[in-house]
Amino acid sequence: MVDTPIDGAGGDGVLLILGPTASGKSGLAIDIAEALNGVIVNADSMQVYRDLRLISARPSDAEMSRAPHRLFGFLDAAEICSAARWAKLAGEEIEAARRRGKLPIVVGGSGLYVRALTEGFSPIPDVGPLHRQRAQGMLKKMGAEKFHARLAEHDPDIAARLETGDSQRLIRAMEVYLATEKPLSWWQALPPEPPMLKLPAFRLVLLPERSTLYERCDRRFEEMVREGAVDEAMALGARGLDPDLPAMKALGVKQLIAAGRGQILLEQAVADAQTATRRYAKRQMTWLRHQIVADHVCDTQDMERLKADIFPKIREFRLTAS
């Protein structure tokens, strides 16, 4: 991919390609990036993890070779990528692409990530691993009920909103208090940081017909399994990571680990993961319909027709964006 502007370059706009899982976002983004000198910036909260190449449906090496890809597979599964952390990194990648005359193409369906980029986020400081490990140790030693009670002493507002079994959010609230000596609710009440995205944005939303989307979800998961997703899940499970880490909660991980360990049949694991994926896709569709003001909404029944329709609009947007 050349670094000098080509057809479609010009202006300072950003293209957001948003849609539910299995809607065809990645393939469309690559085609647009090839044609309009783009850089693809990941906005999928699971595709940031290198351990989840298959399970997160990250673009293949061959696909990624067709256009520059950023923020894909750059984190270890033991890390937590908050929406604020991602938004800062995405903002840097968008600015770097803009300086090189390229079209930044943000692609994903993670609502928190998109909102952090376009609307801002609470100014909660980054918390280092030592505070997280201390909070995790407290939970393990005290047990869920006593840990919840201890959090309530420091942050009654957050504790009142969380169940004792919500270990990930309880640990998050405690680690923030341990690191800053201020409750998480105090930080959340502050005015949000300004959005990282300060450039004009063209929002392209893919909303396939539901039955078509569900069929794609099912078929894609079966393909993942054929390509080795069980081995990928087992390698992750063998690390003994905290089950509440985001990577460990990726769709299909729990089911495939259980199948790999002989606890359930693979057929049942696949069926359960497919059901969970369809439910997630449905939630994404609902969020996109109600939370995103789109510049162009389309299904993806005919991708070639979509590209013929949308490419001129993106070119026009780029030439007029400033």
Q: What percent of the chain has pLDDT over 70?
A: 96
- Mean pLDDT over 157-164 rounds to 95
Between helix 144-154 and helix 167-180 the angle, nearest 10°, is: 40
The DSSP letter of residue 247 is G
pLDDT band at residue 1 using 50, 70 and 90 as cut-offs:
very low
For the record, the structure tokens of 297 come out as: 């909404």
pLDDT of 127 reads: 81
Per-residue pLDDT at 322: 60
Q: Read off the amino acid at residue 253.
A: V
pLDDT of residue 2: 32
pLDDT digits (tens, 9 = 90+) for 57-69: 999 999 999 999 9
**Per residue in 67-82, pLDDT tens?**
999 999 999 999 989 8
What pLDDT, on the 0 to 100 scale, is given for residue 78?
94
Q: Is the pLDDT of residue 9 over 60?
A: no
**CB–CB of 245/45 below 8 Å?**
no
Read out DSSP for 56-104? TTPPPHHHHTTS-EESSS-B-TTS---HHHHHHHHHHHHHHHHHTT-EE
pLDDT digit string, tens, across residues 39-51: 999 999 999 999 9
Higher-confidence residue of 259 and 11: namely 259
Burial profile 212-240: b = 16 or more Cβ within 10 angstroms, e = fewer: ebbebbbeebeebbeeebbebbeebbeee
pLDDT at 11: 60
What the chain holds in terms of domains, given with CATH numbers, is 14-121+194-320 (3.40.50.300), 129-189 (1.10.20.140)
Closest C-alpha among 41, 113, 129 to residue 78: 129
Q: Beta-carbon neighbour count of residue 98 at 10 Å?
A: 17
Average pLDDT, whole number, for the chain?
91
Percent of the chain with pLDDT over 90: 77
pLDDT per position as a tens digit, 83-103 = 889 999 999 999 999 999 999
3: confidence class by pLDDT, cuts 50, 70, 90:
very low
pLDDT at 242: 86
Q: In this predicted model, which residue has the larger pLDDT, 44 or 318?
A: 44
Q: What is the mean pLDDT of residues 276-288?
A: 96
**Which neighbouring-strand residues pair with 75?**
49
- Measure the CA–CA gap between 120 and 35, rounded to whole angstroms: 31
- pLDDT at res. 7: 36
What's the pLDDT score for residue 193?
A: 81
Tell me: the pLDDT tens digits for 166-224? 998 999 999 999 999 999 999 989 988 888 888 899 999 999 999 999 999 999 999 99
The pLDDT assigned to 6 comes to 32
The pLDDT of residue 72 is: 98
pLDDT-based confidence at 8, cuts 50/70/90? very low
pLDDT grade for 308, boundaries at 50, 70 and 90: confident
